[in-house]
Structure 1
Amino acid sequence: MIDPLTLEPLAPAERRLIVGAWHDGGHVGHLFSGAVQAQIERFLGVLTQAP
C-alpha cells in the first residue's frame, strides 16, 4: 500500500499517467510500473479463478 500524497513523482508532468478504477462506494488509483502491473495481473488472475 502506498500513500500517493507522500510520493515525489519521478516523471515530468507531461509523461505521467494516472489510472483509476471505480467500484461501489469509492475509487482506487494505481501508479503503473511493470512490477505494479504484474502484481495487479496476478491479483486479478486469482480473483477470476475463485469459485
Structure 2
Amino acid sequence: MSFTDSTEAPIYAGLVEEQGDVPAEVRRVAEEVLREADRAIDFGTVGAASAR
C-alpha cells in the first residue's frame, strides 16, 4: 500500500500532488548526505582513536 493511495489517504494524496512527496525527498537527500559523509570521513578510525 502506498501513502499516496487516494482511497486510503485522500488528504495526503492531495498534499503530495500540490507540494510533492516531501518525506521521500527528505529521505533521498539524507541518504545522499550519508553517502557523501561516508566517502569524506573514515568513521572506523573514530572509535579506534578514542579507545587509546
**If the TM-score is normalised by the length of the shorter chain, which range does it land in?**
0.3 to 0.5
Larger radius of gyration: 2
Instruction: Give the TM-score normalised by structure 2.
Output: 0.37
Which structure shows the bigger proportion of residues in helix conformation? 2
| Structure of higher RCO (CA pairs closer than 8 Å, 6+ residues apart) | 1
Instruction: Give the TM-score normalised by structure 1.
Output: 0.38
Which structure shows the bigger proportion of residues in strand conformation? 1
